[in-house]
Amino acid sequence: MNQTDQGYSVIHGIFAGTDMSRLLEGLRSAAPVRTRAGARHLLGVRMVQDLAADPRMLKIAREFVGLGAVPFRATLFDKSPSANWSVVWHQDTALPLRERFEDTTRGPWSSKAGVLYAHAPAWALERVVALRVSLDDSLSTNGPLRVLPNTHVSGVLTDATIEQLVRTTTPLDCVTRSGGVVAMGPLTVHASSKAIDDQPRRVLHIEYAATLNLAAEIELAAA
């Protein structure tokens, strides 16, 4: 990531609240397959495609991964009183891939809703940024994204190293009003606690890569 050396950035006021209301209504109409925490693989939804290709989103993504920035995955996170979940401190190291191949630097392999995934090496993850669009206000009380600044610089970390960083690094809450965007590299250690109020927190998490072709015969899958 080249816009910030902290592994994340909060950009306020990118979209209007009315834009987010229309997007939420569009997602309800699209009726994607839901899980307790939200919905996966939404890049096939037209409104999500349009948002991912919005010049304001592309401008942010290009500042992190270069002019070739292309969206490849979209996920809805939906935290509410009826689905008040938490996520432990971790890095996002699995990427969706078009085909399986033999490579000792990747794995283990898995499948989510018919899409192949493999854990990727640091050099591939460094070419990815996630733009998390806040559909609702993201507040300190409704379980926002929390990050450990500057934890993206040491590659893929072991669980023991992450536990040590949690003990020695001051976490920051990424809060923004509806329409704000949080940009984050997948190697940044992050978490999310349960909400302590009834305010929903819905986030559309769209990931961009410098290119879909990460290496010879290694191509990201659109999801």
Per-residue pLDDT reduced to its tens digit, 150-198: 999 999 999 999 999 999 999 999 999 999 999 999 999 999 999 999 9
Give the DSSP letter string of 126-173. Answer: TTEEEEEEESS-B-TTS--EEE-TTTTTT-SPPHHHHHHHHHHS--EE
Place of tokens 């209504």: 25
Domain count, the chain: 1
What confidence tens digit (pLDDT) does each residue in 21-48 have?
Answer: 999 999 888 767 777 788 999 999 999 9
Task: Give residue 3's pLDDT.
Answer: 45
What whole-number distance in Å separates Cα of residue 44 and Cα of residue 78? 19
Angle, alpha carbons 64-166-61 (nearest 5°) = 10
On whether residue 137 sits in a domain, the answer given is: yes
Q: 91: closest CA among 154, 176, 167?
A: 154
Structure-token pair, residue 151:
């934890």
- Residue type for position 29: S
Task: Give residue 2's pLDDT.
Answer: 40
Q: Which helix (H) or strand (E) holds 51?
A: helix 46-52
Task: Give residue 211's pLDDT.
Answer: 94
Strands 87-90 vs 190-192: parallel, antiparallel or unpaired: antiparallel
Q: Which residues pair with 6 in a beta bridge?
A: none
On whether residue 118 sits in a domain, the answer given is: no
CATH number at residue 19: 2.60.120.620
Q: 147: closest CA among 129, 127, 174, 123?
A: 174
Question: End-to-end alpha-carbon separation of the chain, Å?
Answer: 22
On whether residue 133 sits in a domain, the answer given is: yes
Structure-token pair, residue 72:
């490849």
pLDDT band at 104 (very low <50, low <70, confident <90, very high): low
On whether residue 116 sits in a domain, the answer given is: no
Whole-structure pTM value? 0.93
On whether residue 74 sits in a domain, the answer given is: yes
On whether residue 73 sits in a domain, the answer given is: yes
On whether residue 180 sits in a domain, the answer given is: yes
Statement: residue 74 has pLDDT above 90? yes
171 lies in which domain range?
8-96+127-202
Per mean pLDDT, which range of 12-16, 87-91, 107-111, 160-164 is the poorest?
Answer: 107-111
On whether residue 113 sits in a domain, the answer given is: no
